[in-house]
Amino acid sequence: MTDSTVFRLDGGLSTALEANGHSIGGALWTGELLLSHPDAVTDAHRQFVDAGADIIITGSYQLSFEGGRRAGWTDDETERALRNSTTAARLAADEGTLVASSIGPYGAFLNDGSEFRGNYDVTESVLRDFHDRRLDVLLSTEPDLFAVETMPDLGEVRVILDLLNSKDADVPLWVSFTVSAPSLVSGGGTFADACALVAEYPAAIAVGINCSPLTVITPSLESVESELPFVVYPNAGQQWDSGSMSWTGEPEFATADHIDHWVALGARIVGGCCGYGPAVYDKNKRQGATGEH
């Protein structure tokens, strides 16, 4: 990644799937379609590629062996869905499109909005066991990048990055955190702490914020001088209601001015998260909101 290059990231995969008429209201979200209807996931990825995305993130965020068992899947089915996540993205990619394999937090498995709170009250051993086998499967699919994303907890990030180090994983990665207030990671610690942690790992190419509202992003980026470029992909500013499994409130989307400012602060990977479908993404692309190579 060069200092001047800005990579256009995709938007919310689940948002695109819902707009295409697919139901993803179950505990495994997009993961369910990766087992039952993977071509639908490829179609949604393709919409973002057609809208100009340089990087697409796989649908593996919500997939874990523990979550699969809770949903009645066998471990073989979970492994097949994990493998399908990379395949679905590869089939949608153009030459030069990068595929980033999503690694979601332990909180995603809890399915109660914990990725916006952290503090799971589990041991480091539990976190290692949760991530270990899934990382092995995703590594075997040979993604271009890892997106360690929607992370509320600095301790969990260290567990994941230590595991990848122990596996001699030669895959570049970024880590993006959820931020609950300007400069504060959701589960505790500052965004500066988070940036310093990720910078310790040679495989890291970026650190930043995702699935957080616009109001916290700019002041958080301004609060730190990071050794790494920033990755930024906000949600649409709504609140997650874990009871109804839906977003509430009026959306607010990033504008060209927002993204130009983030790029000036050091963002080099920019896109959208929940609420950002291909139509919004394409509109921002036409406005120059995601920068130019």
Hey, where are the domains in the chain? 7-286
Distance separating alpha carbons of residues 165 and 115, to the nearest angstrom: 23
- With contact defined as beta carbons under 8 Å apart, do 79 and 125 qualify? no
pTM of the full structure = 0.92
**116 vs 136, higher pLDDT:** 136
In the chain, which ranges are continuous DSSP H helix? 13-19, 30-36, 38-50, 65-70, 75-92, 106-110, 124-140, 154-166, 191-199, 214-222, 256-265, 278-286
Residues 6+ apart with CB under 8 A from 125: none
Q: Indicate whether 240 pLDDT > 90.
A: no
Question: Does domain 7-286 match CATH 3.20.20.330?
Answer: yes
Say what the pLDDT of residue 77 is: 97
Tell me what the mean pLDDT of segment 274-286 comes to.
Answer: 69
Say what the pLDDT of residue 92 is: 98
Average pLDDT of the chain, as a whole number? 90
- With contact defined as beta carbons under 8 Å apart, do 100 and 145 qualify? yes
Residues 6+ apart with CB under 8 A from 147: 57, 100, 101, 102, 103, 173, 174, 176
State the Cα torsion 13-16-21-24 to the nearest 10°: 20
Say what the pLDDT of residue 280 is: 64
